[in-house]
Amino acid sequence: MKPSANKQYFVKQLLQWNSDDNKREMPWKGEKDPYKIWLSEIILQQTRVDQGLDYYNRFVTAFPNVHALAKAPETTVFKLWEGLGYYTRCKNLIATANYISTDLKGKFPDVYEEILALKGVGPYTAAAVGSFAFNLPRAVVDGNVFRVLARYFGMATPTDSIEGKRLFTGLAHELLDKNNPAAYNQALMDFGATVCKPQQPACAVCVLKKKCSACNSGSVNQLPVKEKSIKKKTRFFYYIVAEYKGEVYVRKREPKDIWENLYEFILLENNQPLPVENGKDWELLSALTGQVILETEHISGVYKQLLTHQIIYGQFIKIKLKKPLTLKGFEKVDKAGLALLPFPKFITNYLKDKAVSLNLF
């Protein structure tokens, strides 16, 4: 079969599969409101669909249109986002909502280049919004697309290389059904998510297996190829939950680090684990608070959170103070106030611990 015929076969079989066998249901499928499509795509950046689904529903309920989102207090939006991670997405979401609501009077841009210029929107998201909302002939290119194309066409060029991105993006645009880009893009994304999966792909029932290069050569598990491995930095966080008269000290995290705009307790970061088991005698606590600690109430077990480029380990030390602290950037909140603030997952896991919640105040 000639290369051009092979491409035609790919497109025809994919669209036929989408029409006859694609049973993947999601609330934003078939949606034409660019606001809701954009919202779903921002939530799903670096997030699994099963995790992002509830967040999407909560956001649409709380903010049914871009004006509602733009008017919402920033802390409220971050609290609703809490647990999704990659919080720069939320910051960009707020900025873009304000721009569309105020500068564009609520009208979402319908030109690809203008969608791409929105804060937090890259080529993939711009293509998704453009094709689904406005039927723009733009191909989506993400991990699912890389995987399907690499396996079917037997492409061993690393997907994370400059050359690989150029080749895969060019092929994706060549294959795109220009008359129905929304259906084609959705079909390709769903096919990668449900059939041509990263692990345990459903090759036995795949409509493309007859002409799939990887399936016929036994190289399914070797494709796609990536040339870079992520090196993770390890950090050790020790949070002092300092209570004075029923209130604890918290602050909003500074920019240019993880968890920007989220809240935290008093933090001591170290480049290696600290022996905090003997909390009453831990001189660092007294040095940090500048006073003799009235009581060390509990020391948590070790918590762990995996980020893309970092591994966070740490513990929480709950102390009672004899007198109030004077710490720049910190505020005191009671139990009710604590529940309204957005925290990183590392801290929310601690706060959700039943033993902790019963004894925090």
Catalytic residues: 41
- Specify whether the CB–CB gap between 281 and 274 falls below 8 A: no
In single-letter form, the type of residue at position 65 comes to: N
Three-state helix/strand/coil letters over the chain:
CCHHHHHHHHHHHHHHHHHHCCCCCCCCCCCCCHHHHHHHHHHHCCCCHHHHHHHHHHHHHHCCCHHHHHHCCHHHHHHHHCCCCCCHHHHHHHHHHHHHHHHCCCCCCCCHHHHHCCCCCCHHHHHHHHHHHHCCCCCCCCHHHHHHHHHHHCCCCCCCCHHHHHHHHHHHHHHCCCCCHHHHHHHHHHHHHHCCCCCCCCHHHCCCHHHCHHHHHCCHHHCCCCCCCCCCEEEEEEEEEEEECCEEEEEECCCCCCCCCCEECEEEEECCCCCCCCHHHCHHHHHHHCCCEEEEEEECCCEEEECCCEEEEEEEEEEEECCCCCCCCCEEECHHHHCCCCCCHHHHHHHHCHHHHHHCC
